[in-house]
Amino acid sequence: MNFEQLKPEVTSIITNSDLTIEKRLYNICSLLEAHIDYYNWVGFYFKNGDKNELKLGPYVGEPTDHTIIPFGKGICGQVAVSNENFVVPDVAAQDNYIACSITVKAEIVIPIFVNGENIGQIDIDSNTPDPFTKDDEHFLEFVCSQVATILV
């Protein structure tokens, strides 16, 4: 499936109020990981209450020890501070990268905004070097805007 074909699937998952928010987020992760070859780990991080840290939410992929990430640390922590998309074509070239797995070559993190506030993000790791394009960014911005509708 290409990104345009995945959009209605994302919307269908988001609007399924028979499922908990947590289950819908997990289903989004599963959908993306299953249908985009170079998405090898897909997960959500959310602001942890009033703390300046992110807490791991639903995800699909290898288990991670990084369940709490301080603001400013790693790619996810930097997005929590900058409020901007962060595309990393080569994680080895990043000084402030938190390694989750030796197989990860690239990462993309897109923030989720609710009422103008950055409340979380989608984080995707790829075992393929430099796979992410502007199309990935635009698609994941769509995913995040859909997710925001159930987090208000």
Beta bridge partners of 45: 56, 121
Q: Which amino acid is at 8?
A: P
CATH of the domain at 49: 3.30.450.40
pLDDT digits (tens, 9 = 90+) for 48-65: 999 999 999 999 999 988
What is the number of domains present in the chain? 1
pLDDT digits (tens, 9 = 90+) for 6-37: 999 999 999 999 999 999 999 999 999 999 99
pTM: 0.95
Residue range(s) defining the domain that contains residue 111: 3-148
Produce one character per residue of 84-120: b if its CB has 16 or more CB atoms within 10 Å, e if not.
ebbbbeebeebeebbebeeebbbbbbbbbbeeeebbb
Kindly state the tokens that stand for 88.
């990393």
Mean local confidence (pLDDT), 75-97 = 89
